[in-house]
A = this chain, B = another copy of it.
Amino acid sequence: MKGVYSYSMDNSLRILKEHDIRPTQQRLEVHLILLKQAKHLTAEEIYEKVKVKMPAISPATVYTILDLFKQKHVVNEIRIQFDKSCFEARIDPHHHFLCKHCRNIFDINIKPCPALETRTIEGNLIEELQGYFYGTCRKCLEKNDDKPV
């Protein structure tokens, strides 16, 4: 257990250093949570998880850290839900799907996606892109669950 934890923490340490981020305890913890989770977490979910290890941390600190991580490109921010942001450690461009029923978010792979393969569109330079899909996921379709929550 200690081994796994250390390994991941070392991973976070290396990643932060590689991106010129001074590795404080708080930053390491936030990064490790995103790395371990391998899922999309809201700022509040991250805050709740950090608080287990560091009860004194404040939400503002989590927001500050996530902001820094965004700037340094170690996390990706997703606004697929209208009322709050999610964050993920995966940083290569890819699309997302939000199920209206179970509210789960899935990564989407569109094989040849022209949007993901160009640097410019109609003369405009693309520096970031987000593809959001809304609908009913496979599992909820199988359940024949037609009413959105």
Contact = CB atoms under 8 A, between A and B. Distances in A.
Interface string A108-148: 11111111000001111111111111111110010000000
B129 A129 contact: no
**Secondary structure type dominating chain A contacts:** strand
Interface stretch (A15-23, A31-39, A47-55, A93-101): A93-101
A63 interface: no
Contact size range, A:
35 or more
Nearest to A100: B127
A110 B121 contact: yes
Interface of A: 79, 82, 85, 95, 97, 99-100, 106, 108-115, 121-138, 141
